[in-house]
Amino acid sequence: MTTSERLIESTRELLWERGYVGTSPKAILERAGAGQGSMYHHFKGKPDLALAAIRRTAEELRAGAAGVLHGPGTPYERIEAYLTREREVLRGCPIGRLTMDPDVVASEELREPVDETLDWLREQLAGIVEEGKEQGQFGPELDGEAIAATVVATVQGGYVLARASGSPADFDAGVRGLLGLLAPRSAV
Amino acid sequence: MTTSERLIESTRELLWERGYVGTSPKAILERAGAGQGSMYHHFKGKPDLALAAIRRTAEELRAGAAGVLHGPGTPYERIEAYLTREREVLRGCPIGRLTMDPDVVASEELREPVDETLDWLREQLAGIVEEGKEQGQFGPELDGEAIAATVVATVQGGYVLARASGSPADFDAGVRGLLGLLAPRSAV
DNA sequence: GTCTATACACTGATAGAC
DNA sequence: GTCTATCAGTGTATAGAC
């Protein structure tokens, strides 16, 4: 792996663990096994390196979610697969958590990939809900975009519950509640 | 207001705006108009002051939520009132956001009031759902504790969506989706 | 109780040698 | 490309004067 790659990967890990404000260039360099000079040669500074790291994490998240959302199964099953997907719950969402970082939200550039990712996720889910409505699996009264927002919010909020208690089961409880509400009548 | 009070209030504001990692004693002192000595006279240090601030914020949150949850109305209406309650959405949840702070989660003491508050909230909501089931407003298949987790998660995740896009409407979309799913059949 | 002075490691960045 | 040296400012805490 090149030094530049190692810097990006180390930054991704630290952003996930400690957020942007809690991550120092020094910590990144130690983890990457590089000196100050390397970082400032490849990147303009901390924000520039963080941007590269966030963009890569966003891409990875989208790719992973797309695999589940556009996989096999009925609309309900695909939403269920997304919600019950294996996650490192106690680590939180590597993208969603950045919204609680004051310096990320304050920077148009750093916030952009975060916004784009969550937006993309909601679009995919909204499409699946509409598909389910056409197939009669979901009632016509459901608002695809609103349900999509609820699904994403339940996941993001599930991380909050789990990290507060230290127990992944609290994430699962939120998901279980939502799936119960979404379940096609015939399946209840 | 006493100096000690000003320190706690300043800390509460900064923890909400910038989180624990992003808040320095220096910033607290400047906002409170106090010197170093005052802070270390009244508190053992940053964690001790933060604990006092978090506890107070937690109490306030509980009191506010209790007013809505145990107010007038049917179980559904009270959950609706909680979900659509006026919030400073873009500021995020002053308690929930702390779960994304590595130093808060790493400290048993600092995490405790956060955990306790979200737990209390879920208990109240679970009780209301059970009440609604007894009254026939909610179907008997609903799991009160799971629905409660979903409700709290939707709120916490709604903050994430809104802060990502910079638009409170995204919080509202998640809430609207959940309310649509929760609505008693007769009300649809 | 409150203040200033002091301490020392860390933050984020630049300069320049190799 | 990568390293070390250096820097002004900040983070967190202690000491001691008033």
Q: What is the pLDDT of residues B98-153, one digit of tens each?
A: 999 999 999 999 999 999 999 999 999 999 999 999 999 999 999 999 999 999 99
Q: How confident is the model at residue A113 (pLDDT cuts 50, 70, 90)?
A: very high
- B27 in contact with chain A, both atoms CB, cutoff 8 A: no
Q: What pLDDT digit, counting tens, does each position of A39-76 carry?
A: 999 999 999 999 999 999 999 999 999 999 999 999 99
pLDDT of residue B162: 99
What's the pLDDT tens digit per position in A123-181?
Answer: 999 999 999 999 999 999 999 999 999 999 999 999 999 999 999 999 999 999 999 99
Q: How far is A142 from chain B (nearest CA, A)?
A: 7
Taking the CA of residue B108 and the C1' sugar atom of nucleotide D17, their distance in angstroms comes to 38
Query: Is residue B37 assigned to a domain?
Result: no
Is residue A12 a part of any domain in this protein?
A: no
Among A152, A153, A170, A151, smallest CA distance to A162 is for A170
The pLDDT assigned to B94 comes to 98
pLDDT tier for residue B76 given thresholds of 50, 70 and 90? very high
What is the per-residue pLDDT across B32-53, written as a single tens digit (0 to 9) for each? Answer: 999 999 999 999 999 999 999 9
Examine residue A102 and state whether it is found in any structural domain, yes or no: yes
Contact A121, A107 (CB under 8 A): no
Residue B186 above 70 pLDDT? no
Q: Over chain B, what is the mean pLDDT? A: 97
Query: For residue A186, what pLDDT band results from cuts at 50, 70 and 90?
Result: low
Residue B94 lies in a domain: yes
For the domain that residue A178 is a member of, what is the CATH number? Answer: 1.10.357.10
Instruction: Check CB contact under 8 Å for A111 and B21.
Output: no
Does some domain include residue A138? yes
Is there a contact between B181 and A119 if contact means CB atoms under 8 Å apart? no
Within-domain flag for B18: no
A174/B2 Cα distance (integer angstroms): 42
Residue B188 pLDDT? 47
d(CA A185, CA B176): 20
* Residue numbers of the domain that contains B175: 54-187
CB B170 within 8 A of CB A132: no
Distance B40 CA to D14 C1' (A): 10
Q: How far is the CA of A26 from the C1' of C12 (A)?
A: 9
How many domains, chain A? 1
> Quick check: A147 and B92 CB within 8 A?
no
Distance, CA of B137 to CA of B132 (rounded, Å): 5
Mean pLDDT of B71-92: 98
pLDDT of A161 reads 99
* Residue A71, in any domain of the structure: yes
Check A111 against B164: CB less than 8 A apart.
yes
Position B91 in a domain: yes
Mean pLDDT of A96-117: 98
- By Cβ distance, the residue of A105, A177, A182 closest to B163 is A105
Closest partner CB to B177 (pick from A150, A166, A175): A150
A66 CA: distance to closest CA in chain B (Å): 19
Give A-chain residues touching B163 at CB under 8 angstroms. Answer: 99-100, 105
pLDDT at A188 over 80: no
